[in-house]
Structure 1
Amino acid sequence: MNISFFKVDSMNKLVSVIFTVFFFISCSTSGGGDNGNPNIRKVSFSRVINTNLPAFSSILIAGNTIFIPNNSDGTGLKGVHIINTGAGFLAWEASCPNHLPNTCSTTLAKGITVTCQCEQYEYNLFTGQILSQSSQPLFNLVPYGVRKEGSNLVIFN
């Protein structure tokens, strides 16, 4: 009987079991990702915003916001609100997070807040937090990634 054969065979089985367990743990059944909000499905996109263009140059001033609509190009579900915090940039899904997207769910910006056109829920663009009070639990805005590359902002998810 060759003992070294059993050691190698046992090691191969152990590695196979560990790999299989890791594979099943890392698989997701959430159907496209989980942003923690059942009303807003996860979308994958990348959008470059050239801040040298007049339409977007106002975002270079701290406290200013811009809205990028989803014109069938996949930028969010209903578009994206971007704010210059003074320390960087934040981007948020424009669809109200407290119901499924519909004809009135695109939030409208006013200063540093956005408001849902359906229920008038108000959100802070610096934090994404809901400002409105309710007897039921409410969701905050869904965040997107922002990366500054020269004069461009790359908004992504």
Structure 2
Amino acid sequence: MNIAKCLFAVLITFFICGCSSDDYRYRNPNLPDYNFTVDIDMNLPQYSQLKFTGNVVYVNQAGVGINGVYVINTGGGFTAYEASCPNQPLSECSRLQRDGVIATCPCDDAEYNLFSGEAEGKEYTLKPYRVEITGEDKIRISN
């Protein structure tokens, strides 16, 4: 009987620890999850600014994110966020407007830091996307 209890405990631990790495992923009822993958080549002129720390590029290709994606070189890597206001239902005013490393929601004037994705006093942070380095000066962003 003790062997059965131990086996049960091991199985439960396996299932709890065996969860996918995506379980930490951000879940926001205002922003649907659309699957996409986009490759960014920083040798192309529209993405070359990502080679430098603190620079942000807006990726606005069809099917990439909801309202596009902001990608920033943080100096320690790259971070990508959805370009939609996370604390508003999708609407005509919910596409973030960027000024430097600050993205502002025109619906409520909330300001989000593109280094952290946070805004003071807001329930939801910016929706992050996966960023993977795929080669020299190349990254892949996906959801």
Q: TM-score category by the smaller chain?
A: 0.7 to 0.9
Deviation string 1:76-124 (CA, Å, 9 cap, x unpaired) is: 1111000000010000010100112111111011111100121111101
1:107 partner amino acid: L
Question: Structure 1: which 5+ runs fail to align?
Answer: 1-17, 27-33
Q: Are 2:131 and 1:146 aligned? A: yes
Q: Are 2:134 and 1:108 aligned? A: no
Aligned to 2:30: 39
Runs of 4+ in structure 1 deviating by more than 2 angstroms, as ranges, are none
1:144 partner amino acid: Y
* CA–CA distance in structure 2, aligned partners of residues 35 and 92 of structure 1: 11
* CA–CA distance in structure 2, aligned partners of residues 84 and 103 of structure 1: 28
Aligned to 2:39: 48
Superposed displacement of residue 35, structure 1: 3.2
Specify the structure having the higher radius of gyration (Cα).
1
Number of residue pairs the alignment of both structures matches:
125
TM-score normalised by length of structure 2: 0.78
Question: Structure 2: which 5+ runs fail to align?
Answer: 1-10, 20-24
TM-score normalised by length of structure 1: 0.72
Deviation string 1:26-63 (CA, Å, 9 cap, x unpaired) is: 9xxxxxxx732110111111001111011110111000
Root-mean-square deviation (Å): 2.2
